[in-house]
Structure 1
Amino acid sequence: MKTKIAITSLASLSPLGDTPDAIWNNYLSPKTLISTKDFNGQSQFVATIPAEIRKGIDALRKEDVKYKALDETVLMAIITSRKAMANAGWQQGDDFGINIGSSRGATQLFEKYHQEFLETGKTSTLTSPTTTLGNISSWVAHDLKSKGPEISHSITCSTALHAVLNAVAWLQSGMATKFLVGGSEAPLTAFTLAQMQALKIYANQNYVLPEHGEWICRAFDLEKNKNSMVLGEGAAMACLELGERENALGYITGIGFATDELEHNISISDEAICFQKSMAMALQNIPLDDVDVIVMHAPGTLKGDTSEYKAIQQLFGSNLPMLTTNKWKVGHTFGASGILSMELALMMIQHNTFIGVPYITNPVRVQNPERVIKNVLINAVGFGGNAVSVLVSS
């Protein structure tokens, strides 16, 4: 990277809450935020946003008649974008770019309209414009009255960090000075859960054994013998600006990306070659010993967790950084997961406190109290091995 990128704000809503204090307090607790919810008569493990936050989403529908027909992915993106922009000191009508992604997009609305079509043979007038991926960034741009480019995309679970990569390219090229980036995901529908069940990667009632305690998603538990992924919902947006800023929460100082050769539609290679390459690229200008923490993608699946860990071992050898993930607590939020991991990274730097995984006891991952957290690497990967690594520094 020619110039580091300042992260001047980050706002989110997720099972953790929607304020920095609530989010940090939830991270300090060893309790998971995963619970059960009924879908078509079946109880499923999911991580849902708190009821008070949902009231805010419902209120936004009433704020403007045009917002009434929008999917929750769009509404959550608008709420978090407004907050991020205000926290960064940006004004409505400013010249900034927007890149917001989602793995599934308007899942809830699409399924509603499709069911309507199956039952009646017809569908609503607004079906097409309100279910495209592009409508997330477009509606945010409309709401914020921004003047820069508006970009939406889906690169499955690495979507939000790909938005970061794209923004970095725009900023370093001189084509923009400010960019709003992030991801929004509302995947808690019966059909989406059925897709994960069909892949046999989802935690189910039979998985919960006495020795597992309260933690349903066993993300980064290398000793588990079953897949344990759980879905969560949420959105997070970050404001990025070129160069140093007095109000910076932290800086993006390295970026990396790579894609595995496809062995299977959903898999990555056994030693996650894509992560080895993306991490090496992101860390090319920093000694490996200076990396304090890695926030792993670690979705709670057998292969996903072990392959990423092997990639980290290949790159760092026996001198591993502290390793963590947040999916045991908030579930997998698909396209929003990478930016929620960035939020965790920034908070660990701010509080100089490592948030570990409570059921992981290997001393390699226990914080050295004398070590100040300055550099945190964030990993994300999508179906087919589309990996991104982003280095965040104080």
Structure 2
Amino acid sequence: MQGRQIVITSTNSITELGYGNSEMWSNILNGKQGFSKKYKTIAPRQTTFSGQVDRTKIKEDYFSSKEVDYLDDIAKFAVSATLDLAKEEQFFETDMFGYDPFRIGVNIGVGLFGLGKMSEASKFFSNKDYSKISYHHLASMIPNSAPAQISIKLGTKGISTSASSACTSSLIAIKQSYLEIAGGFHDMMITGGVDAPLEDVWHLGFSKLALAESQSENGCKPFSSDRNGTVSAEGAGILFLEERENALKRGANIQAEIVGFSSTSDSFHNLAMEPSAKSPIKAMKSALKMANLNPTDIDWIGSHSPGTKKGDIYESKAISEVFGEKTPPVTALKSYFGHTIGASGVNEIIAMIESAKRGMIIPTLNLTDIDEASQINHCLEVKHCNVRYILKNSFGFGGTNSSIILKINNSNLH
């Protein structure tokens, strides 16, 4: 496995911030946030924001009339993002880039299951409308419905699976996909993450945990002294991974190389963070070790920072421990996207790649009054510089922590 270079050759993102990378990047440049005041719930701690995908932009010809009815949004978002990317990259015209379909796998991170179809079936059951509950509800609820539908639509015949580890799901999926190629099991992996959590049961749970944003003027405000919770959002992010030599042979436009990653567990509490932050510290240090890098080699950190009171301080402590006084610029990308749960890591990676290949580091939005307990090197305005190595963190419920390091292909500078 050592010596094989695994690269990201293509990316695509679907969120409220943008349907596709171009729209997403345009909105980021304009300082737009990917959530708005249009979701009302039964939650006692009333949330005023959510990040909702514009469903009118999903191409109807991707799905049959029956699929439109029975597929959950997690499958629709993931399939749409993947098929858009496949068309852009001429995946079908080049006969799957020349790869054996049994050597192309799919691994999509999903933090939740098909919550929309679960809620729909529950309502039918409560109203005793049993005839409206279909066996398709069962198939749409399982987490691997997204990778299964991608495999069906593309005709790939390698592994089709789903990584599910709360908010770290997409980073775990990327890591597992890397290992599939590095271990010689597959030549190409379609990976990333998806989630569609905007149901009352989700908002109610977040409300009772006091994690949901409540009546804020700007929504998600990571590291800000007046932050009061995160903004739930939905979406999908997709990456094509290949071995570098194979990618170069077919003329692929390499975006970045995966050079380091690590995952750890707090082993402390299902919802609370372990106060010492030793597990996220270990994740970052181990990722650096795998990449054979020093902390000073990292040019930019994409923090997890959901905008919760304790979560942001927890991560600040970990970053300070690893990077010390020479901490590179830190950007909290959920200030743009909100929290897309299982899709958060990959969507934020895509935004960082889009920014870095333009020689830019984008700032955290709404950060005007920094919490005294989060005194790290926050990026407060656009920085124009050469970005070679980026580190992205994702942490989640159950004490799961993941860090990944990418080497940006600077020959792609726009």
Q: TM-score, normalised by structure 2?
A: 0.86
Whole-angstrom distance in 1 between the partners of 2:205 and 2:53: 25
Deviation, structure 1 residue 29? 2.4
Deviation, structure 1 residue 271? 3.8
Whole-angstrom distance in 1 between the partners of 2:329 and 2:263: 21
Deviation, structure 1 residue 359? 3.4
Paired residues of 2:361 and 2:382 also in contact (CA < 8 A): no
Q: 1:131 aligns with which of 138, 141, 165?
A: 141
Whole-angstrom distance in 2 between the partners of 1:182 and 1:8: 13
Deviation, structure 1 residue 63? 3.7
Task: Show structure 2 runs of 5+ residues with no match.
Answer: 371-375, 409-414
Paired residues of 1:9 and 1:85 also in contact (CA < 8 A): no
- Which moves more between the two structures, 18-27 or 139-148? 18-27
- Is 1:382 matched up with 2:396? yes
Whole-angstrom distance in 2 between the partners of 1:103 and 1:199: 18
Q: 2:347 aligns with which of 340, 344, 348?
A: 340
Q: Alpha-carbon deviations, 1:160-190, whole Å to 9, x = none? A: 0000010111111111110000111111111
Task: Show structure 1 runs of 5+ residues with no match.
Answer: 209-213
Taking every aligned residue pair, what percent have the same amino acid on both sides? 26
Deviation, structure 1 residue 282? 1.1
Whole-angstrom distance in 2 between the partners of 1:370 and 1:346: 14
Output the amino acid matched with 1:342.
Answer: I
Deviation, structure 1 residue 27? 1.1
Output the amino acid matched with 1:252.
Answer: I
Aligned to 1:46: 49
Q: Alpha-carbon deviations, 1:221-270, whole Å to 9, x = none? A: 2x23x5311101110110000125341111111111111121x3212222
Whole-angstrom distance in 2 between the partners of 1:45 and 1:311: 31
Whole-angstrom distance in 2 between the partners of 1:19 and 1:369: 24
Aligned to 2:288: 283
Aligned to 1:266: 271
Whole-angstrom distance in 2 between the partners of 1:181 and 1:216: 29
Whole-angstrom distance in 2 between the partners of 1:198 and 1:230: 14
Whole-angstrom distance in 1 between the partners of 2:199 and 2:61: 21
Aligned to 1:104: 112
Paired residues of 1:178 and 1:241 also in contact (CA < 8 A): yes
Paired residues of 2:229 and 2:307 also in contact (CA < 8 A): yes
Deviation, structure 1 residue 337? 0.3
Matches within 5 A, 1:147-296: 147-205=157-215, 208=216, 214-221=217-224, 223-224=225-226, 227-244=228-245, 245=248, 246-262=252-268, 264-284=269-289, 285-296=292-303
SS at match of 1:155: coil
Deviation, structure 1 residue 369? 5.3
- Cα distance change of structure 1 residues 135 and 3 upon mapping to structure 2, 3 Å threshold: same
Whole-angstrom distance in 1 between the partners of 2:61 and 2:382: 45
SS at match of 2:401: strand
Paired residues of 1:178 and 1:242 also in contact (CA < 8 A): yes
Paired residues of 2:262 and 2:286 also in contact (CA < 8 A): yes
CA-atom RMSD, angstroms? 2.2
Whole-angstrom distance in 2 between the partners of 1:116 and 1:61: 27
- Cα distance change of structure 1 residues 62 and 21 upon mapping to structure 2, 3 Å threshold: closer
Output the amino acid matched with 1:257.
Answer: S
SS at match of 1:35: coil
- Cα distance change of structure 1 residues 369 and 199 upon mapping to structure 2, 3 Å threshold: closer
Aligned to 1:211: none
Q: TM-score, normalised by structure 1?
A: 0.90
SS at match of 1:6: strand
Q: 1:115 aligns with which of 118, 123, 127?
A: 123
Aligned to 2:356: 349
Count of aligned positions:
382
Whole-angstrom distance in 1 between the partners of 2:360 and 2:259: 20
Aligned to 1:391: 405
- Cα distance change of structure 1 residues 58 and 18 upon mapping to structure 2, 3 Å threshold: closer
